[in-house]
Structure 1
Amino acid sequence: MLKIAKNRVSIWAVIGAILFMTGQVITNLYLPNLTSDLVNDGVATGDVSMIWQIGGKMLVVSFLTVIFAFGNVLLAARTSQTLGKNLRKDIYKKVLYMSNDEFDQVGTSSLITRTTNDVMQIQNVAMMALRMMIMAPITLIGASFMAYQKDAELTGIFLVVIPIIIVVIGVVMYFAVPLFKAMQSKTDRLNLVFREGLTGVRVIRAFIRDKFEQDRFDVANKDYTDNARRVFSIMAAMLPIMTLVMSGTNIAITWMGGHLIANQSMPVGNMLAFMTYAMQILMSFMMLAMVFVFIPRAQASAERIQKVFDLETRLTEPEQPRDVQNVAAAALDFDQIVFRYHGAEKPALTGVDAHLRSGQTLAIIGGTGAGKSTLTNLIPRFYDVESGAVKVNGYNVKDVAKMALQDVIALVPQKAVLFKGTLRENLLYGNPEASDEQLWHALEIAQAADFIRENDGLETFVEQGGNNFSGGQKQRLAIARALVKKASIYIFDDSFSALDFKTDALLRQALRQDATIQKAVVVIVGQRVSTVADADQIIVLEDGKMVGLGTHQELKANNETYREIVDSQIKEGSATNE
């Protein structure tokens, strides 16, 4: 956990919190001593001036205690919250720069849990560390010394009480710590099921699987609840046991102290001070118990977060990055690509070889699972090839800084993703400096201008995920966002699938006629032959292998796989008749 906190908190704030807490403990330990003097030298002798004098000291010491406590709480809170803020920021930054392989290893639900619940556990323990972990041992040592000074004979009570407390704490920790550790993985599972239910609610309703999903959620929810109930029941049982021990200690001190006072072996004020120190000693043990119970859970959370930080990306940055941004003409090359997913037995892509130059369009077609999207993911270097090379503007993508590479690529993913806000804000993702004229031009090309004008124009509100638009509208807006970006390569990953044939044809015609697009390389992944037929080159994929490369006419004449796709779509009335 110290590794997690390193460089994420101010060492001066930590030192300040320790100093303030030390001051608070010293003043807390001094007050019972003053109380003893007040009773022995003032009340017992009837010396009013002494009462006023010692009472004045007590007021000053109490005021200092408040100041020290305020300073410690302020610095502890600021330090713990700063630690949480920096952890969340660093996790988010790590996630943004993760390769798809690393992202798949952890999972979305687990990343959400680690960024929220796990960070909160570390924040809470950081706060406890700067409060209880400092206060408890200092108070324990100081109170024990002060109690011994007041009466050495009475301190023998602690030889009985302290072993009992240690046994109670040990039993609680034995049963509670494993349950606390298990809570994080059970939180992961609960979040996973809940998230799947939310994102797949339409599918659940369509297949009338409400009862099944409710039962599935109930199992995860009950598992988490049962675990939480057990662990907090154990923790709750500790309080009455400790209260019983403290009450018994008070009775023993009162009984033994009463005999000492009766024998005039001990002043009354000393017994009052001794009782206060006894309570401080016992409370110190309780605080330590709380800390030791919660630390393992926070340690488990820290380990889970550290695993995210320790994920080693295979997408290393080049030592001497090449410049793909200032080139004369756009280019895209696949040189005998072989790629396999992490841990997979056989490659997902083999033998892909194609070369595109400025103004050309590459189409990729094939059956489901053929590797079309996988191939497009290699261009912005979401994954690295096993052998061969992907080249952008003449340079191997491994020799280009990732941010510089992705700056010359505009991508429309398979699933159209829009963010909550205005349409203008969404379109400016492509180019933050784009003018309204450029935004409208992109909307015109994407065949989205008409329905946007019917709303509030560029100020049209976009709900989370773009849920206030249809599937086809979301696709066109995602395409417009990509077109706003001035890129060397435009990738449309099956992003025309929700468009009708007329809109599809108009959009592709507008793309061909646009001056900016004519200077770039366009990559289109499509399922329909009509979408890819006018491309300069078409890659035909089957089971991850490139089984054809050429124009529509060439493939139609010479490639059996492509002919089968064309024939199947002609029967369905969806293919081109060219």
Structure 2
Amino acid sequence: MFLVLQVMSDLYLPTVTSNIIDKGIAQNNISYIWQEGFKMILVSFLGVAAAGGNIFFAATQSMKMGQKIRDDMFDKVTHFSEADMNRFGAASLDTRTTNDVVQIQNVMVQILRMMLMAPFMLIGASTMAFVKSPRLTIIFLITLPVIALIVGVLMYYVVPLFKVLQKKTDRINLIFGETLTGVRTIRSFNQDHYENRRFDAANKDFANTGIRAFTIVSFIIPIVTIVFSFINVAIIWFGGQMVSNQSLAVGNLVAFMTYSGQILFSFMMLSMIFVFLPRASASATRINEVLSVKDTITDPAIPVDFPVQQSGTLSFEHVYFRYSNAEQQTLQDINFSAHTGQTVAIIGGTGSGKSTLINLIPRLFDPESGVVKINGVPVNQLTQHDLHEQISINQQQAILFAGTIRENMHYAKPDATDDEIWYALTIAQATEFITTENGGLDYHVEQNGDNFSGGQKQRLAIARTILKPAEIYIFDDSFSALDFETDAKLRMAPKE
């Protein structure tokens, strides 16, 4: 609505100017000039107000759309299986959720502001120009197809470059993220110069691709400007002759030139859209690749309630598992049962499939064949929520979140009291470095727990696992960074 009002105001003003020249100035009619002048001021204010409304809603809707896409992306990624996470990679998912969404937001603003306005303006200005002088309009019929052809050829070459540019953004984020995470390792092996060269190579590659893409794009506006400069010369040349032989009024020539400028402006707006569209198109494709992934781990159509028993069991029955595209199976014919109160140790060499076996219990993967059961019910017949409620797992890598120790503990049990948290920390042998002098449970935890040692992070992660009330507790190589004494105490504490 605001856009239409703005375009109508812009199209009406040249007609008012034409009337002032032909009926006011030419006939020395001062009162008519004042009358049309006030009308021009009123229409101008209306156009400005409409433009403001259009800009406001364009910005509001583009931001809301970006918010919606990021919410959907985040929700989708949190439900990814391990295979899906490995398929995309963390760096690429970061880029798709941030940079790619920004590209979509930018083009959304341009669409609501320019792309919708340009056709209205182009059609309206062309119609009004034809009304003022049908003969001069022939100039546009010759030149506009030429401009459209030139822009189309340039876009043919630039679209693939923008698609490549987004992939190279992934590469930069990957290297930068690895450097931030592994900065201590890089320094300890004195590989600063190697990492600088690696990032510089990726950065130059990105820059060179961007230069090629935007160099091609930069030709659009100069070409359009040159063509329209020739159009203006032709309008003045032929229009002047028509004025001299009195077949065209001076006011109509001025109005025609104004409409010509609006047509030029419309093409400029469309050209700017063509700058944003290819990159946004590539970003939209990358976003849809994430959103269109079908969940490989899904809840059953008719789920079974979790069977509560006094003596629970966890059993693997002829379980086989193979990673996608792997030639050999990681797990073959796994059979065992664990009962309430028992501790089962799974021992094997590096890469033998211990973590893979563990991940089958909470359904981070599904087996190729065979079945994993809890209390006699296959885990794939339970909802993931009900299944995860009964399992407390401590992964191989101790993950802590930025915040406080209390907030990290609440991940396991949101309503846990301070006494319960301290009890879990005591079992995990973590109270020695968490004292009230250091802030206690309000002690600040940096991202990834970087302000703690490896052993301290492991003990905090173990405390969080113990804090959660569950039927099954899983510890995946969770004691590797502990000294022998702490390891022994920690193993004995849960039994006691």
Decide: shared fold, TM above 0.5: yes
Q: Which position in structure 2 is the counterpart of 1:71?
A: 53
Q: Which position in structure 2 is the counterpart of 1:349?
A: 331
Output the amino acid matched with 2:398: A
Superposition pairs of residues 117-196 of structure 1, within 5 angstroms: 117-196=99-178
Superposition pairs of residues 90-489 of structure 1, within 5 angstroms: 90-324=72-306, 326-453=308-435, 454-489=437-472
Q: Which position in structure 2 is the counterpart of 1:54?
A: 36
Q: Which position in structure 2 is the counterpart of 1:7?
A: none
SS in 2 for 1:433: coil
SS in 2 for 1:120: helix
Structure 1 contact 330–489 (Cα < 8 Å) conserved: no
Cα distance in 2 for residues equivalent to 1:197 and 1:184: 20
**Shift in Å at residue 325 of structure 1?**
6.7
Output the amino acid matched with 1:242: V
SS in 2 for 1:264: coil
Cα distance in 2 for residues equivalent to 1:96 and 1:446: 28
Cα distance in 2 for residues equivalent to 1:309 and 1:160: 45
SS in 2 for 1:361: coil
Structure 1 contact 40–269 (Cα < 8 Å) conserved: yes
Output the amino acid matched with 2:478: S
**Shift in Å at residue 439 of structure 1?**
0.6
Structure 2 contact 126–259 (Cα < 8 Å) conserved: yes
Cα distance in 2 for residues equivalent to 1:304 and 1:327: 47
Cα distance in 1 for residues equivalent to 2:128 and 2:411: 66
Cα distance in 2 for residues equivalent to 1:326 and 1:65: 70
- Once the two structures are overlaid, the 10-residue window that deviates more, 156-165 or 186-195, is 156-165
SS in 2 for 1:154: coil
Cα distance in 1 for residues equivalent to 2:78 and 2:152: 43
Residues 476-498 of structure 1: CA deviation (Å, up to 9, x unaligned): 00111111111111111111110
Quote the RMSD (CA, aligned, Å): 1.6
Cα distance in 2 for residues equivalent to 1:231 and 1:211: 30
Output the amino acid matched with 2:445: V
Cα distance in 2 for residues equivalent to 1:244 and 1:302: 33
Cα distance in 2 for residues equivalent to 1:147 and 1:343: 64
Cα distance in 2 for residues equivalent to 1:328 and 1:321: 22
Cα distance in 2 for residues equivalent to 1:119 and 1:274: 41
Cα distance in 1 for residues equivalent to 2:309 and 2:279: 54
**Shift in Å at residue 85 of structure 1?**
0.7
Q: When the two structures are superposed, what TM-score results if normalisation uses the length of structure 2?
A: 0.96
SS in 1 for 2:371: strand
Structure 2 contact 307–377 (Cα < 8 Å) conserved: no
Consecutive unaligned residues of structure 2, counting only runs of 5 or more, are: none
Residues 62-98 of structure 1: CA deviation (Å, up to 9, x unaligned): 1221222122222221211111111111111111111
Output the amino acid matched with 2:484: F
Cα distance in 2 for residues equivalent to 1:328 and 1:128: 64
SS in 1 for 2:362: coil
Cα distance in 2 for residues equivalent to 1:170 and 1:398: 53
Structure 2 contact 220–271 (Cα < 8 Å) conserved: no
Q: Which position in structure 1 is the counterpart of 2:479?
A: 496
Q: Which position in structure 1 is the counterpart of 2:69?
A: 87
Q: Which position in structure 2 is the counterpart of 1:569?
A: none
User: Is 1:505 matched with 2:488?
Assistant: yes
Aligned length: 495
Output the amino acid matched with 2:50: F
Structure 1 contact 177–293 (Cα < 8 Å) conserved: no
Structure 1 contact 325–404 (Cα < 8 Å) conserved: no
SS in 2 for 1:60: helix
Consecutive unaligned residues of structure 1, counting only runs of 5 or more, are: 1-18, 514-578
SS in 1 for 2:347: strand
**Shift in Å at residue 174 of structure 1?**
2.7
Output the amino acid matched with 2:51: A
Residues 264-287 of structure 1: CA deviation (Å, up to 9, x unaligned): 222222111111110111221222
**Shift in Å at residue 308 of structure 1?**
1.2
Matched-pair identity in %: 53
Structure 1 contact 410–489 (Cα < 8 Å) conserved: yes
Output the amino acid matched with 1:230: R
Residues 245-266 of structure 1: CA deviation (Å, up to 9, x unaligned): 2333222222222222222222
Cα distance in 2 for residues equivalent to 1:94 and 1:428: 24
Structure 1 contact 129–291 (Cα < 8 Å) conserved: yes
Q: When the two structures are superposed, what TM-score results if normalisation uses the length of structure 1?
A: 0.83
**Shift in Å at residue 326 of structure 1?**
4.2
Structure 2 contact 158–278 (Cα < 8 Å) conserved: no
Output the amino acid matched with 1:341: Y
Cα distance in 1 for residues equivalent to 2:75 and 2:311: 33
Output the amino acid matched with 2:456: Q
Cα distance in 2 for residues equivalent to 1:488 and 1:431: 14
**Shift in Å at residue 329 of structure 1?**
4.0
Output the amino acid matched with 1:259: Q
Structure 2 contact 221–271 (Cα < 8 Å) conserved: no
Output the amino acid matched with 2:339: R
Cα distance in 2 for residues equivalent to 1:112 and 1:140: 40
Output the amino acid matched with 1:437: D
